[in-house]
């Protein structure tokens, strides 16, 4: 069963690159914050690079104006996430988070088996909006789709 609106974000450790590899615990990441976390099956993959992340880059200011932080997550290592963020011109403040072993993704119940594509276990494509560590809205894509987790859709739902 996947996480649902009203559920608390589970505790896990993610990673990012800030003056070297830094651990990011989810309790601190979400505590006292309004945050949209969106996840992609893989950095540098076509839909993720051409539509998903670019939408959040484009609309980052709109989330910021609403007092909402934005974080991108993938089951990739933190160096890949950093390189992908740089290649996509991610603005400062949009966090690029690594769930390298998929621990957090599994705790959310949002993992998928991408072994048929040579990618192993990855995250489903989703976005969630949380306030102070509690999920308020969850947008999980059907396999092969990209609609409900887009920056535009999430922004419209937060109006």
Q: Three-state secondary structure along the chain?
A: CCCCCCCECCCCEEEEECCCEEEEEHHHHHCCCEEEEEEECCCCCHHHHHHHHHHHHHCHHHHHHCCCEEEEEECCCHHHHHHHHHHCCCCCCCEEEECCCCHHHHHHCCEEECHHHCCCEEECCEEEEEECCEEEEEEECCCCCCCCCCHHHHHHHCC
Give the whole-angstrom CA distance, residue 96 versus residue 92: 10
- Is 16 tagged catalytic? no
* Residue (of 100, 111, 125) closest to 46 by Cα position: 125
Catalytic residue, from 29, 48, 70, 154: name it: 48
Catalytic residues: 48
């Amino acid at each position: 069963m996947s996480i649902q609106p009203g559920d608390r974000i589970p505790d896990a450790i993610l990673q990012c690159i800030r003056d070297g590899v830094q651990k990011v615990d989810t309790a601190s990441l979400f505590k006292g914050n309004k945050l949209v976390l969106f996840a992609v099956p893989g950095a540098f993959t076509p839909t993720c690079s051409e539509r998903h992340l670019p939408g959040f880059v484009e609309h980052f200011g709109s989330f910021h104006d609403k007092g909402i932080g934005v974080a991108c997550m993938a089951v990739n290592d933190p160096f890949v996430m950093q390189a992908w963020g740089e290649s996509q011109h991610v603005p400062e403040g949009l966090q690029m988070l690594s769930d390298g072993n998929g621990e957090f993704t599994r705790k959310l119940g949002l993992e998928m088996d991408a072994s048929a594509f040579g990618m192993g276990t990855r995250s489903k494509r989703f976005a969630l909006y949380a306030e102070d560590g509690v999920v308020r809205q969850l947008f999980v894509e059907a396999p092969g789709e990209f609609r409900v987790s887009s920056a535009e859709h999430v922004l419209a739902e937060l109006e």
